Each structure stands twice: as C-alpha cells, then as structure tokens.
Amino acid sequence: MTSRTPLIAGNWKLHNTIAQSVTLATALRAELDGTSGVEIAVAPVATALHPVASALEGSPIALAAQNTHWESRGAFTGELGPALLADVGCRYVIVGHSERRQLFGETEEGVRKKVRAVQAAGLVPIVCVGETLAQREEDATLGIVLGQVDAALAGNDASRLVIAYEPVWAIGTGKTASPADAQAVHAAIRGRLSAVIGELAQRLQILYGGSVKAENARDLLSQPDIDGALVGGASLEAKSFTSIVRAAL
Ligand code: 13P
C-alpha cells in the first residue's frame, strides 16, 4: 500500500575522528553511488560534518547532525544551531535521541523547540521516541511513545519530519523488537499523525531503530509501517550499513 521511499540513516554517535569519518563516508559512497529507491543519510560527530559533507558531495548520501540547540545564534557557549547545520550541508537533524533524553536531560519541551527550529531552518528533524524496558513491561509503551510524539509535535508542522521509533531497551543491546511488535507501534504512531494531518501521514517516514543489523533488517523493513531504519553500531562499518541499505530496496 505504501509508496513511501525508505530512509536508512546511520547515527555514528561519538565515534570516529575526522579521518575515520571521511574514510567511512568515502567507502559508503563507493558502494552506494547510483543507488535509487532508498534515501540514505549519515550523522557523523560535529567536528566531522564539514569534511564528510565534502566527501559526500554529489552522492545520494545526505548529511545529518546528531543534535542541535533550538537557537541559531547568541550567547550559548558550546552549542550548534540549525542555521549552522544547514550551512555545513545537513539535510536532517536527529532530535530527542533517548541518549540525549536519558544522559543529558533533554526534555519534551526542548525536543518540541528543537523540532520547530530545525524546520524553520529548512531542515528535516528525525524525532526519536521510545519506551524503556520498565515501561514496556508495564504495558505503557503506546502511552509513552504517543505522548512523546504529541509533545514533539505540539504547535509544530507535523507534515515535515521523520519519526524514529527506538525502544530504549533495544539500543546497543543486540535485542530488537520483533517485527510485529515494532509494526504495532509504528501503526499507532501513524494513526496519531493521521489524527493531526490526515492523509499526509501516509507520506511520512517512520523509522525503526535499536540493534538493526544486516541480518534482521529485511524482516523489519518488510512491515507495512516501517519505512526505514536509524542504525547505530551497524552503521560504523561500510559493509554492514550498505547491506542494510540494500535490504530496503
Ligand atoms: P544501535 O543500532 O547500536 O542499537 O543504536 C540504535 C540507535 O540508537 C540509533 O540512533
């Protein structure tokens, strides 16, 4: 039923020097130049954004940032803003990753402001949502996830973003949600988006993240509401990331 183009995005997290990032980007480009039918993005560390942008210029691989502040300029020592991320060549910005929520005190209000700022700069936010293991065990998954979606979208343009469903217990653990469990959450997210933007929700990409690998990607991506993947560990090697991209075709 879907005519959505899948998106496979690699979140490199706090890994790779500039040289390592450029080497990885160059290897991906060599494998993936000419690929169509799937959108591809990588999110290097901030210091590597510019050199990776140069390495990927003219390739089908887009640049993403891992985080942003919601202000674009001013007295905010240590921050980067959406205008600078647009300036360096980003197309996407990951917003509200669970590591930022859990380790760096990111709030739902902060996520909402970041979504707005990213969109105002003409970039596409990849908004991360997901429940903890305790929340899943309490059967609170949908309430938590849809609450995060509502909070991120409040007052924002819900038709220009990507959602990434990343169960916290699946990130970096080797455990993945079963394709059916992930599909159920994705369908609920799309249902919530439909309530806000109607038919436009059918066009939005909802990615799954959490221990996606070459071996499990195809099963996950074959679900009707799973429109791609946000990949951590397996995006750090050209071979495994490329296999995941191919699994989306
Ligand atoms: P892993 O693929 O390493 O589990 O990480 C997922 C993630 O957090 C992507 O943003």
Residue-wise pLDDT tens digits, 168-201: 999 999 989 999 999 999 999 999 999 999 999 9
Within-domain flag for 10:
no
**Is the separation of the CB atoms in 122 and 90 below 8 Å?**
no
Number of domains comprising the chain: 1
Dig out the tokens for 245 from the structure.
């991209």
Nearest protein Cα to ligand 1, atom 7:
232
Pocket test for ligand 1, best of 15, 106, 171 (most atoms within 8 A of CB): 171
For residue 168 and ligand 1, the question of a CB distance below 6 A is answered with: no
pLDDT of residue 3: 78
For residue 8 and ligand 1, the question of a CB distance below 6 A is answered with: no
For residue 233 and ligand 1, the question of a CB distance below 6 A is answered with: yes
**Is the separation of the CB atoms in 38 and 245 below 8 Å?**
yes
**Is the separation of the CB atoms in 153 and 95 below 8 Å?**
no
For residue 232 and ligand 1, the question of a CB distance below 6 A is answered with: yes
Pocket test for ligand 1, best of 230, 236, 237, 244 (most atoms within 8 A of CB): 230
For residue 171 and ligand 1, the question of a CB distance below 6 A is answered with: yes
pLDDT of residue 1: 46
- Selecting among 39, 69, 97, 186, the annotated active-site residue is 97
Q: What is the dihedral of CA 80, 85, 91, 97, to 10 degrees?
A: -10
Measured CA to CA, the distance from residue 92 to residue 94 in angstroms comes to 7
CA of 15 to the centre of ligand 1 (A): 13
Measured CA to CA, the distance from residue 201 to residue 193 in angstroms comes to 6
When computed from its CA atoms, the radius of gyration of the chain, rounded to whole angstroms, is 17
Within-domain flag for 242:
no
**Is the separation of the CB atoms in 240 and 19 below 8 Å?**
no
Within-domain flag for 249:
no
Domain containing 170: what range? 65-237
Within-domain flag for 161:
yes
Buried b (16+ CB within 10 A) or exposed e, 19-35: eebbebbebbbebbeeb
Dig out the tokens for 157 from the structure.
């343009």
Name the phi and psi angles at 188, rounded to 5: -65, -40
- Examine the residue annotation and report whether 97 is marked as an active-site residue of this protein: yes
pLDDT of residue 134: 96
74: which residues sit within 8 A by CB, 6+ positions away?
none
Within-domain flag for 207:
yes
The parts of the chain modelled with pLDDT lower than 50 are 1
**Is the separation of the CB atoms in 162 and 92 below 8 Å?**
yes
Within-domain flag for 203:
yes
For residue 210 and ligand 1, the question of a CB distance below 6 A is answered with: yes
Helix runs in the chain, H state only: 18-32, 49-56, 82-87, 98-103, 108-120, 133-137, 141-153, 179-197, 214-221, 238-247
Residue 140 belongs to a domain with what CATH number? Answer: 3.20.20.70
CA of 220 to the centre of ligand 1 (A): 14
